[in-house]
């Protein structure tokens, strides 16, 4: 395997592919900082430079990996050079993996120096005399840092029809608290919020019973509609803050880290939507952190008021002497965050967007290293896809197919829309729901869910965003990225590629002819 890997690397060097890539990467690393325009702040400049340089590096190396993956195998098959290798005592799977290893060596040889160049360039910029102390401190605390995040646990929105029915029947009985049997009590404790919402709809149990006695599509549609509404209401109650309302979030920080975390400022990161265009000074936001404890921010008043815009992420620095996280008693590590909506319209906090607490967790260098490793895993998968396609297709067709796979897998919008709309047939725009689901919709949803799950397991990691926001890419994240991208998806792609290559007749008169 090793001689094949070295050979692949040597080919890239001899054909001056490495030189061309190195020049392109140099242009990216040193050229982009000269070209990009930021908001004028040091933090904004560094963030945008990081985003563009890392993003461009990933894109360039991704294309290069795809090209190499498709070219190294397909061209050798087409030029018949592979025949000379295949008649030697090397198993085909070793040849395939050797090729992959060679491309990965090339990627490592290009990515590592690029990462180092970015690191030193960014640090040089952060140490520049042009920046004042406050800007430098902001950079060190908010970008050139590794900050972990804590979110509120996601509520359980699963909906079991049987449990919802049983619970609704129990509620209908109107028992007092002390008269429930242990089984009924267990049911009460296990019920989710959507099921609880359904219990408030008296027609739900009636519809289910009618459907059991005389099943009909219309009844089922009504039941599903009620369940859908219950789900929306539940989500809405967690995400929407109506005018004049106060919403609380609770963040439990690892109590063993509290003292260390309190040595540095912590940050509240959030984003809200208000159904309007972004306007930097459009909404009043009133925040209070640590209410009810001796570690309250702001220290002198109930809420800190700010006027900011919707639809973008904001970070609020929470700084108190001796830290803000309670470090004593039963509230150790528990941070309560309150938001009061003093606007004249509802504010929406999507669960996926936070809010979250960010705290200092390490240095930028190691975080960058972990981020580069995730990019490296992506490159590994991309090159495996290229190799897989070229195991049975000619070079241009393999390239086209690989590009198609990448484009489809990185654009999940359509797939998510299929899931949201309950299929691929049209929805009723008056109700926003589908009138009737077909088998085709069921199949489409099944495929879309699978595809979205796979896609998110690959591209769900966002090292570039995390690095530019100074957020920690944890070792656990790295491990799971490796597992999902290389072991699971890469393994699957490699298995297909090796199988196809193993069964390929390498001396067919026309390399694209069929196999026996």
Partner 1 sequence: MNSNETVISAQGLTKVFKDFWGRPKARAVEGIDFEVKRGEVFGLLGPNGSGKSTTVKMLLGLLYPTRGRITVFDHSPRHVQTKARIGYLPEESYLYRYLNSDETVDFFGSLFHIDSKERRERAEQLIEMVGLDNARRRHVGEFSKGMQRRIGLAQALINDPDLIVLDEPTSGLDPIGCREIKDLILTLADRGKTVILSSHLLSDVEDVCDRAMILYGGRVHAMGTMSELLANQDATRITAPTLSRETMDKVLALIRDDTGSDEVRVDNPKQNLESLFLNIVEQARQKESETSGATSGHRVAEYLRVDAAGDRADHVLDHLTRATDEPALGQAPEVTKPTETVDVDKLAGLAKAEPAPQADVAPKKRENLDKANEKLGGLLGD
| Rounded (10°) CA dihedral 479, 484, 488, 489 | -140
Nearest to partner 1 of 86, 496 (CB atom): 86
Q: Which of residues 121-150 bind partner 1 (CB under 8 A)?
A: none
Site for partner 1 in 13-42 (CB under 8 A): 14-15
Structure tokens that stand for 315 in this block: 């970070």
Least CB distance to partner 1 at residue 76 (A): 9
Residue written as token pair 């606007």:
343
Cα 167–Cα 170–Cα 174 angle in degrees, nearest 5: 135
CB of 511 to partner 1, least distance (A): 12
User: Which region, judged by CB under 8 A, interacts with partner 1, from 11-19, 129-137, 390-398, 414-422?
Assistant: 11-19
Examine residue 506 and tell whether it contacts partner 1 (CB under 8 A). Answer: yes
CB of 411 to partner 1, least distance (A): 30
84 binds partner 1 (CB under 8 A): yes
Give pairs for 459-462: CB < 8 Å, separation 24+: 459/378, 459/409, 459/410, 461/374, 461/485
Q: Binding string, 329-368, against partner 1, x = CB under 8 A?
A: ----------------------------------------
Nearest approach, Cβ of residue 394 and partner 1 (Å): 12
Nearest residue (CB) to partner 1, 13 versus 351: 13
Is residue 470 left, alpha or beta, with left meaning phi > 0 and alpha meaning psi from -120 to 50? left
Distance of CA 2 to the CA centre of its chain: 35
* Choice between 26 and 508, CB closer to partner 1: 508
**Shortest spacing between CB 79 and partner 1, in angstroms:** 7
Q: Name the region of 354 (left: φ>0; alpha: ψ -120 to 50; beta: rest).
A: left
Shortest Cβ 479–partner 1 spacing (Å): 34
Dig out the tokens for 12 from the structure.
């890239």
Q: Residues in contact with partner 1, total (CB under 8 A)?
A: 28
Q: Please tell me the distance from the alpha carbon of residue 265 to that of residue 322, in angstroms, as a whole number.
A: 10
Of 17 and 180, the one with the shorter C-beta distance to partner 1 is: 17
Using the rule CB under 8 A, which residue among 26, 91, 366, 408 binds partner 1?
Answer: 91
Q: How far is CA 239 from CA 232, 247, 284, 346, in A?
A: 10, 9, 17, 10
Q: Min. distance of Cβ 392 from partner 1 in angstroms?
A: 12
CB nearer to partner 1: give 3 or 298. 3
Report the C-alpha gap between 342 and 346 in whole angstroms: 9
Whichever of 189 and 515 has its CB closer to partner 1, that residue is 515
The smaller minimum CB distance to partner 1, of residues 106 and 356, is found at 106
Q: Which residues contact 285 (CB under 8 A, 6 or more apart)?
A: 272, 305, 306, 307, 308, 339, 347
Q: What is the DSSP string of 380-435?
A: HHHHHHHHHHHTTS-HHHHHHHHHHHHHHHH--HHHHHHHHHTSSSPPBTTTTB-S
89 binds partner 1 (CB under 8 A): yes
User: Which residues sit opposite 473 in a β-bridge?
Assistant: none
In whole angstroms, how large is the CA radius of gyration of the chain? 28
Using CB under 8 A as the binding rule, the residues of this chain from 260 to 279 that contact partner 1 are none
Q: Return the number of the residue (59 or 508) whose C-beta is nearest partner 1.
A: 508
Q: Give the interface segment with partner 1, choosing from 5-13, 63-71, 195-203, 267-275 (CB under 8 A).
A: 5-13
Residue of 18, 63, 90, 116 interacting with partner 1 (CB under 8 A): 90
First-last CA distance in the chain: 27
Question: In angstroms, what is the minimal distance from the CB of 513 to partner 1?
Answer: 6
Q: In the set 23, 41, 79, 127, which binds partner 1 (CB under 8 A)?
A: 79
What the block records as the tokens of 294 is 């001796």
User: Using CB under 8 A, which of 22, 85, 116, 424 touches partner 1?
Assistant: 85
Q: What distance in Å separates the CA atoms of residue 75 and residue 391, rounded to the nearest whole number?
A: 10
Q: How far is the CB of 14 from partner 1 (least distance, A)?
A: 4
The burial of 436, by beta-carbon neighbours within 10 Å (0-12 exposed, 13-18 middle, 19 or more buried), is given as exposed
C-alpha 298/C-alpha 321 separation (Å) is 12
Nearer to partner 1, 99 or 296 (CB): 99
Q: Cβ closer to partner 1: 86 or 187?
A: 86
DSSP 429-492: TTTTB-SS--HHHHHHHHHHHHHHHHHHHHH---HHHHHHTTB---HHHHHHHIIIIIIIIIHH
The structure tokens listed for 254 are 């690892």
Q: Which is nearer to partner 1, 6 or 161 (CB)?
A: 6
Please report whether residue 80 would count as binding partner 1 according to CB under 8 A: yes
CA distances from 74 to 13, 69, 97, 388, 396 (A): 18, 9, 14, 10, 9
Candidate ranges 24-32, 66-74, 81-89, 105-113; the one touching partner 1 (CB under 8 A): 81-89
Among 88, 154, 179, 321, binds partner 1 (CB under 8 A): 88
Question: Binding to partner 1 by residue 507, rule CB under 8 A?
Answer: yes
Return the residue of 38, 41, 83, 185 that touches partner 1, per CB under 8 A.
83
Q: Is 396 in the site for partner 1 (CB under 8 A)?
A: no
The residue (of 23 and 508) whose beta carbon lies closer to partner 1 is 508
Between the alpha carbon of residue 118 and those of residues 104, 168, 341, 451, 466, the distances in Å are 20, 59, 42, 34, 15
Binding site for partner 1 (CB under 8 A): 3, 7, 10-11, 14-15, 79-81, 83-91, 505-509, 512-516
């Amino acid at each position: 395997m090793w001689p094949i890997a070295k050979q692949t690397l040597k080919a890239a060097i001899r054909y001056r592919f490495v030189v061309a890539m190195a020049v392109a990467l140099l242009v990216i690393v040193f050229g982009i900082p000269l070209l990009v325009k930021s908001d004028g702040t040091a933090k904004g400049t560094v963030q945008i430079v990081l985003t563009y340089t890392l993003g461009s590096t990933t894109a360039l190396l991704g294309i290069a990996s795809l090209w190499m993956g498709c070219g190294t195998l397909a061209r050798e098959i087409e030029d018949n050079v592979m025949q000379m290798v295949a008649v030697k005592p090397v198993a085909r799977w070793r040849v395939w993996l050797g090729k992959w290893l060679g491309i990965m060596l090339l990627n490592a040889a290009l990515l590592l120096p690029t990462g180092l160049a970015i690191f030193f360039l960014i640090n040089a910029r952060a140490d520049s005399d042009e920046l004042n102390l406050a800007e430098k401190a902001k950079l060190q605390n908010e970008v050139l840092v590794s900050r972990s995040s804590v979110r509120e646990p996601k509520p359980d929105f699963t909906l079991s029809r049987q449990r919802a029915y049983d619970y609704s029947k129990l509620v209908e009985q109107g028992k007092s608290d002390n008269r429930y049997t242990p089984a009924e009590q267990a049911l009460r404790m296990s019920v989710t919020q959507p099921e609880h919402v359904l219990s408030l709809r008296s027609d739900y149990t009636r519809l289910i019973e009618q459907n059991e006695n005389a099943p009909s599509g219309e009844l089922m549609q009504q039941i599903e509609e009620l369940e859908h509404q219950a789900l929306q209401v539940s989500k809405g109650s967690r995400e929407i803050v109506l005018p004049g309302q106060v919403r609380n979030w609770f963040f439990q920080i690892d109590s063993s880290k509290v003292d260390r975390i309190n040595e540095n400022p912590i940050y509240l990161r959030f984003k809200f939507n208000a159904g309007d265009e972004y306007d930097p000074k459009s909404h009043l936001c009133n925040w209070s952190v640590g209410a009810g404890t001796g570690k309250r921010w702001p220290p002198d008043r109930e809420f800190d008021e700010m006027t900011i815009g919707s639809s973008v992420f904001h970070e609020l620095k929470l700084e108190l002497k001796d830290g803000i996280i309670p470090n004593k008693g039963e509230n150790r590590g528990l941070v309560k965050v309150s938001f009061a909506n003093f606007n004249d319209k509802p504010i929406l906090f999507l669960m996926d967007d936070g809010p979250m607490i960010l705290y200092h967790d390490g240095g930028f260098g190691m975080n960058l290293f972990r981020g580069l490793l995730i990019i490296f895993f992506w490159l590994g998968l991309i090159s495996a896809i290229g190799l897989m396609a070229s195991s049975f297709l000619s070079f241009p067709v393999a390239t086209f197919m690989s590009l198609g796979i990448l484009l489809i897998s990185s654009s999940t919008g359509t797939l998510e829309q299929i899931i949201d709309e309950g299929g691929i047939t049209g929805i009723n725009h008056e109700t926003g729901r589908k009138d009737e689901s077909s088998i085709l919709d069921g199949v489409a949803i099944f495929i879309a869910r699978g595809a979205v799950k796979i896609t998110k397991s690959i591209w769900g990691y966002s090292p570039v965003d995390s690095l530019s926001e100074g957020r920690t890419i944890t070792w656990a994240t790295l491990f799971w990225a490796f597992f999902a991208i290389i072991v699971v998806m890469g393994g699957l792609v490699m298995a297909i590629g090796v199988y196809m290559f193993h069964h390929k007749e390498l001396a067919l008169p026309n390399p694209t002819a069929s196999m026996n």
